[in-house]
Amino acid sequence: MVAYSKNLIFEKAQPEHRHLIDRLMVVAFTPYVQKLHHIDAVGGPYPWLLSEINRGNVYICSEGSDIKGVVMIQYQDTNLSIDYLAVDPKHQNEGIGSWLLDQVTYMARKMNIKTIRLNTAEMMGGLLRFYCRHGFEETHKALPAHKGDTHIRVYMTKIL
């Protein structure tokens, strides 16, 4: 893994970032979606993205004008859930995903959040190992709540 640049910025996404974030998510999630559905599916669309940006739930990792990654979070009492974490494929394996998780963890600790939660498809072994390396532990497995597919999700929690 390449060490990430010291010039990375973690900040709330702004409405003018919407199209760049949408494009990043499409290219980042298309392989995941194709693996789930076994077809030439494409990640997206994300019609809710602008409203989540306006709510302050979307953060970007940028260097200059280049958005390298994005994370969408939700707060629930003393818990924080990561709904989406995406790294531009051009910047994968540079430590951006780890850096984003570190930033979210730092932010959560400052807010006295007790747990961070997320889920990913059981078939995505690389993602499961990635999250385990960052302190997440499996809590249970279940079908996704959205019922959009029949692939088991692994639900994970990191206690802070």
pLDDT tens digits, 125-149: 899 999 999 999 999 999 988 777 7
129 is a domain residue:
no
The range of the structural domain enclosing residue 76 comes to: 9-112
Q: Write 145-151 long-range contacts (CB < 8 A, 24+).
A: 149/36, 149/37, 151/36, 151/121, 151/122, 151/123
147 is a domain residue:
no
Weakest mean pLDDT among 43-47, 53-57, 114-118 = 43-47
123 is a domain residue:
no
User: Torsions phi, psi of 42, nearest 5?
Assistant: -120, 140
48 is a domain residue:
yes
pLDDT tens digits, 13-53: 999 999 999 999 988 987 777 666 656 555 567 889 999 99
Report the CATH number at residue 36.
3.40.630.30
pTM for this prediction: 0.89
103 is a domain residue:
yes
52 is a domain residue:
yes
85 is a domain residue:
yes
- Cα 59 from Cα 69, distance rounded (Å): 9
Strand pairing report for 79-87 and 115-121: parallel
Domains contained in the chain, number: 1
